[in-house]
Structure 1
Amino acid sequence: MSDLTLILLAAGNSTRFQTAVKKQWLRIDHDPLWLYVTNRITAMKNFSKVIIVAHPDEISFMSSMCDYAIVAGGETRQESLTNAMEYVNSPYVLVTDIARSCIPNELIERLIASKDIADCIVPSLPLSDTIVYVNTTIDRDQVKRIQTPQLSKTSVLKAALQTTLHYTDESSAIVAHGGTRYFIDGDESGHKITHTHDLSSLTCLKAPSNAIFTGNGFDVHGFEEGKPMVLGGVEIESPFGFLAHSDGDVAIHALIDALLGAACMGDIGMLFPDTDSTYKNADSKELLRQCVLKLHQFGFVILHADITIIAQTPKVASYKDAMRRILCQLLQIPLSRVNIKATTTEHLGFIGRKEGVGVLATASLHYFDWKNG
């Protein structure tokens, strides 16, 4: 049984990365970065437990992609680490950031080999440039670039984290608490992804797959007298609208399901549950905006959408162009990639009896190509 737990920190907001995609969701072939890094490290060493710290909004999707333990992160790196440490019961813990994606096996072996030398074992690199702090030149031989992973004694790290002061790495917290720190040689291949240009120096990362993913959506709503009708983002002249928790835009609801289906992200009810009062009478265009934002953050690019509206009433032919123009803006794709069709059921069934409208939608996605810009 291993005496070492692995914690991977992946709860950040990637504010300095400056792309629509959060860096932990960049695809390496098919795997998001957080999963690629986790699999890569666990293939090097047998751990008693593997814990991934994630943004609370991302836990559900991450859990559907792996069997690792996933816990909610906090507002800061230290809060996220503290949350994860609650689940650690092994004598030692190895903590690293998902952004350090090309950590070599040899570095991890040296960390483990040194585990009894001090309370925290830290990889570091020297600096070759002149260092000036305010107006004072500092002896660069006394300055180190600190890296992760860092290997700590669990009991010491847990005690060190019981503070209101914030530290940017484990060793600083441990030393401030009176613990000991031992430096080993770091590795330039453990370079951290902070900005997009950092990706070019990481040779272990393969380009994302060029696969295309297709999803289907279907939704139906009955009519409600006296309610405005909104369909495909457009207000339709009609004496009735749709009976629904939100504004009932059945076309956008089907489209959201198609998008989520292509991404394997569940369905609209999981993302916007009708049991949540937040979405009472919600504008479905805003729901679509949120869906598109989440798809982009998770590393997807929308290719196209095709919608079939099945209605005996109202007649929608004259509204199709307006629907296309609104939807292409919401999807952030060219007008040429949005198609709207309309048909009837030839007076058959509940739609034929003019009791409601049904919509079929198809959408396709591919991964954001960070490798080729």
Structure 2
Amino acid sequence: MTRQNQKIAVIIVAAGAGRRMGTDVARPKQYQPVAGVPLLTRTVNAFLQAETVDIILPVISPDHHHFYEALGLGDKRLLSPALGGAERQQSVLAGLDALSATTSPPDIVLIHDAARPFVSNELIDATIDAAITSGGAIPALQVTDTLKQADKDQTIQRTLDRTIHHLAQTPQAFRFAEIYAAHQQAAKTDQLFTDDASIAEWAGMNVKIVPGTPENYKITIAQDVERAEMTLIPRMETRVGTGFDVHAFETGDHVTLGGIQIPHTAKLKGHSDADVALHTLTDALYGAMADGDIGQHFPPSDMEWHQADSAIFLEHAVSRLKERAGRLVHLDLTLICEAPKVGPHCEEMRQRIAQIADVSMSRVSVKATTTEKLGFTGRKEGIAAQAAVTIEVPVKD
């Protein structure tokens, strides 16, 4: 038999309380967020991405309906959840009962822990293939550390052969009819089994091992959540870009600085509105991203930008940063001129720059200084500006 002519179902066991997490006791761990997405949602989505899986059946606690409904999960392959029991073994049997009651029970069933969200398509397929051939299969990691057996007093009794010992993972896959019969038999005994493979072994089924993956770990304690979030949240690096620009004065009655108009006896000369403050910030942001400069993105030879509002330029640079999943941390602008008096307008400029850059004012600094009447700014021939911009971007190499 091949995978193509087999109906494949997965039971996601999600009825536990997750008390070992030691966090929000009112919300079981499978409903708590991991990098902003509930753990159970991540696990269900992992199987929704597997084209070989035909049916997905969550098994939840009867007390957790409101938590499950809040996830908003929906897909034609996703069945309404079955209700589990006090023990994992009871929950799995409830899932098997529910699959058996469908109009077309599966040929192969995978049984997976809700707290293992990083199962890969390759591991799912390998486990299915092995179960089709052998009747049962589990992914497992071979023990690599020296393995000791100790008594209740933690006194070592002997050293075990690590080459024949493995750490079991899920999904554990079986021919449906065989594992269902094994679970029904086990339910009639007083024995409690820690996983489905141990029930299959007890019932005399063949269970093969396929290589597990270290990434397919079970989220059990709070430190596991931290580990998962380190995997899911991109590693960021901090970058700083600098900008410098000058514009001369020409006949006019105001200057545009930092997105606002300031009355003056002249205006700034330029192809656009000549906002030297926004031009400098824009160039600093492009520089931090290693993304060219304002002249490359908005050529002064292009009449589309003639007398354009320079807010367009800074907004474009910010959008480029967001496309890279980056974050704008801080903008520090210094304006250099003798006139007009910039100080009284710094707060209004901060507010406007923050609005354009889509950050809080606490991330924007605007300062003014002079050159002690030296140079072209000292002769009141124009305005210079310099800026430093700090960003965070995901590490690519």
Q: Measure the CA separation in 2 of the matches of 1:152 and 1:182.
A: 10
Q: Compared with structure 1, are the counterparts of its residues 2 and 116 closer, same or farther at alpha carbon in structure 2 (3 Å cutoff)?
A: closer
Quick check: 1:170 aligned with 2:168? no
Q: Measure the CA separation in 2 of the matches of 1:190 and 1:53.
A: 20
Q: Measure the CA separation in 2 of the matches of 1:17 and 1:46.
A: 32
Quick check: 1:152 aligned with 2:151? no
**Equivalent position of 1:78 in the other structure:** 89
Q: Compared with structure 1, are the counterparts of its residues 206 and 41 closer, same or farther at alpha carbon in structure 2 (3 Å cutoff)?
A: farther
**Equivalent position of 1:57 in the other structure:** 63
In the TM superposition, residue 113 of structure 1 has moved relative to its aligned partner by 2.4
One-letter code aligned to 2:8: L
SS in 2 for 1:188: coil
Q: Compared with structure 1, are the counterparts of its residues 91 and 2 closer, same or farther at alpha carbon in structure 2 (3 Å cutoff)?
A: closer
Q: Compared with structure 1, are the counterparts of its residues 179 and 96 closer, same or farther at alpha carbon in structure 2 (3 Å cutoff)?
A: same
Residue 41 of structure 1 is aligned with which of 23, 33, 47? Answer: 47
Q: Is the 8 A contact 1:6 1:50 kept in 2?
A: yes
Q: Compared with structure 1, are the counterparts of its residues 61 and 195 closer, same or farther at alpha carbon in structure 2 (3 Å cutoff)?
A: closer
SS in 2 for 1:159: helix
Segment of structure 1 superposing worse, 41-50 or 5-14: 41-50
**Equivalent position of 1:143 in the other structure:** 165
**Equivalent position of 1:26 in the other structure:** 32
Quick check: 1:184 aligned with 2:206? no
Q: Is the 8 A contact 1:53 1:71 kept in 2?
A: yes
Q: Measure the CA separation in 2 of the matches of 1:57 and 1:95.
A: 22
In the TM superposition, residue 40 of structure 1 has moved relative to its aligned partner by 2.0
Quick check: 1:120 aligned with 2:136? yes
SS in 2 for 1:114: helix
Q: Is the 8 A contact 1:9 1:80 kept in 2?
A: yes
Q: Measure the CA separation in 1 of the matches of 2:164 and 2:128.
A: 25
Q: How many residues align?
A: 207
SS in 1 for 2:51: coil
**Equivalent position of 1:5 in the other structure:** 9
**Equivalent position of 2:113 in the other structure:** 97
Structure 2 residues not aligned, in runs of 5+:
100-104, 151-156, 235-397
Post-superposition Cα deviations, 1:300-326, rounded to whole Å, max 9, x if no partner, equal xxxxxxxxxxxxxxxxxxxxxxxxxxx
Q: Measure the CA separation in 1 of the matches of 2:120 and 2:193.
A: 25
SS in 2 for 1:191: coil
Q: Compared with structure 1, are the counterparts of its residues 126 and 46 closer, same or farther at alpha carbon in structure 2 (3 Å cutoff)?
A: closer
List aligned pairs for 1:164-313, cutoff 5 A: 164=189, 165-202=191-228, 204-206=231-233
Q: Measure the CA separation in 1 of the matches of 2:138 and 2:207.
A: 7
Q: Measure the CA separation in 2 of the matches of 1:153 and 1:18.
A: 37
In the TM superposition, residue 104 of structure 1 has moved relative to its aligned partner by 1.5
**Equivalent position of 1:106 in the other structure:** 122
Structure 1 residues not aligned, in runs of 5+:
208-373
Q: Compared with structure 1, are the counterparts of its residues 23 and 140 closer, same or farther at alpha carbon in structure 2 (3 Å cutoff)?
A: same
SS in 2 for 1:5: strand
Q: Compared with structure 1, are the counterparts of its residues 199 and 29 closer, same or farther at alpha carbon in structure 2 (3 Å cutoff)?
A: closer
Q: Is the 8 A contact 2:6 2:107 kept in 1?
A: no
In the TM superposition, residue 31 of structure 1 has moved relative to its aligned partner by 3.5
In the TM superposition, residue 146 of structure 1 has moved relative to its aligned partner by 0.5
In the TM superposition, residue 22 of structure 1 has moved relative to its aligned partner by 2.3
Q: Compared with structure 1, are the counterparts of its residues 70 and 204 closer, same or farther at alpha carbon in structure 2 (3 Å cutoff)?
A: farther
Q: Measure the CA separation in 2 of the matches of 1:117 and 1:80.
A: 26
Among the aligned pairs, what percent are the same residue? Answer: 27
Q: Measure the CA separation in 2 of the matches of 1:19 and 1:66.
A: 24
Q: Measure the CA separation in 2 of the matches of 1:191 and 1:141.
A: 21
Residue 21 of structure 2 is aligned with which of 17, 23, 26? Answer: 17
In the TM superposition, residue 108 of structure 1 has moved relative to its aligned partner by 1.1
Post-superposition Cα deviations, 1:85-128, rounded to whole Å, max 9, x if no partner, equal 01221111011101111112211121122232212111111112
Q: Is the 8 A contact 1:2 1:47 kept in 2?
A: no
**Equivalent position of 2:255 in the other structure:** none
Q: Measure the CA separation in 1 of the matches of 2:212 and 2:67.
A: 33
Runs of 4+ in 1 over 6 A off after TM superposition: none
In the TM superposition, residue 170 of structure 1 has moved relative to its aligned partner by 1.2
Q: Higher RCO, 1 or 2 (CA under 8 Å, sep at least 6)?
A: 1
Q: Measure the CA separation in 2 of the matches of 1:42 and 1:196.
A: 26
Q: Compared with structure 1, are the counterparts of its residues 45 and 125 closer, same or farther at alpha carbon in structure 2 (3 Å cutoff)?
A: same
Q: Compared with structure 1, are the counterparts of its residues 15 and 122 closer, same or farther at alpha carbon in structure 2 (3 Å cutoff)?
A: same
Query: TM-score with structure 2 length normalisation?
Result: 0.49
In the TM superposition, residue 46 of structure 1 has moved relative to its aligned partner by 4.3
Task: State the superposition RMSD in angstroms.
Answer: 1.9
One-letter code aligned to 1:34: L
**Equivalent position of 2:315 in the other structure:** none
Q: Is the 8 A contact 2:182 2:200 kept in 1?
A: yes
Query: TM-score with structure 1 length normalisation?
Result: 0.52
